[in-house]
């Protein structure tokens, strides 16, 4: 993915009240940040924020936290949020490899939408459904582990099914054509583009 440099992205991101500046300070205390004890769901690799913003609007009794590594991408979500008044969404700029440094036994659901497939075998551990990341997720889930994944990449999808299954996850739903499923689906920005080109979306929901 080629990233475009956004002028003053750092200033815009750091100024926003939607962005958690020092997330490690809130570990086990996110209820104080949201001022409630509602469930907390996170999206890893939230991109420009279409999905998680729509989810926050649709489910006001759930708290959402979007994680994005790149400031030049995160800033687009910040710009959208500044036009809204949502109390149940926050953003964190960080690499997902550090997820256990900012959360501990407090997450209900993890969304993995159109993650980088890292197709080369030597990069397999970087995939967000590799056992390396699944071990990290064990540390952040509150009770039952719950992962929802969407991807256009069939190779990543097959890898995810095998990895999750081997790690002890059970599948509530698996689909190779999400658009034609009876699922209450909130679209991401990528998903809109893919569906307009008749590219099928793979979907899974897994528990452990």
How many whole angstroms separate alpha carbon 121 and alpha carbon 199?
Answer: 24
Query: Can you state the percent helix, strand and coil of the chain, rounding each to 5?
Result: 40, 20, 40
Are 27 and 104 contacting, i.e. CB atoms less than 8 angstroms apart? yes
Choosing from 37, 85, 95, 116, the catalytic residue is 116
How many whole angstroms separate alpha carbon 151 and alpha carbon 156?
Answer: 8
Task: From residue 101, give the alpha-carbon distance in Å to each of 8, 36, 131, 156, 158.
Answer: 28, 22, 18, 26, 29
Report phi then psi at 38, rounded to 5: -70, 160
- 138 belongs to the catalytic site: no
Q: Which residues are catalytic?
A: 116
């Amino acid at each position: 993915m080629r990233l475009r440099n956004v002028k003053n992205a750092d200033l815009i991101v750091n100024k926003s009240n939607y962005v958690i500046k020092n997330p490690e300070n809130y570990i086990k205390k996110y209820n104080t940040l949201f001022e409630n004890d509602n469930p907390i769901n996170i999206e890893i690799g939230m991109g420009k924020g279409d999905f998680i913003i729509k989810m926050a609007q649709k489910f006001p009794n759930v708290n959402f936290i979007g994680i994005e590594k790149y400031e030049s991408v995160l800033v687009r979500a910040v710009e959208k949020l500044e036009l809204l008044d949502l109390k149940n969404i926050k953003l964190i700029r960080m690499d997902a490899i550090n997820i256990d440094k900012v959360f501990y036994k407090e997450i209900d659901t993890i969304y993995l939408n159109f993650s980088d497939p890292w197709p080369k075998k030597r990069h397999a551990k970087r995939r967000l459904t590799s056992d390396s990341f699944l071990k990290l997720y064990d540390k952040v889930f509150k009770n039952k582990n719950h992962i929802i994944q969407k991807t256009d990449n069939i190779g990543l999808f097959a890898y995810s099914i095998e990895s999750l299954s081997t790690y002890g996850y059970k599948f509530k739903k698996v689909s190779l054509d999400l658009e034609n499923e009876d699922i209450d689906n909130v679209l991401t920005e990528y998903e809109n583009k893919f569906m307009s080109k008749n590219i099928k979306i793979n979907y899974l929901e897994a528990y452990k």
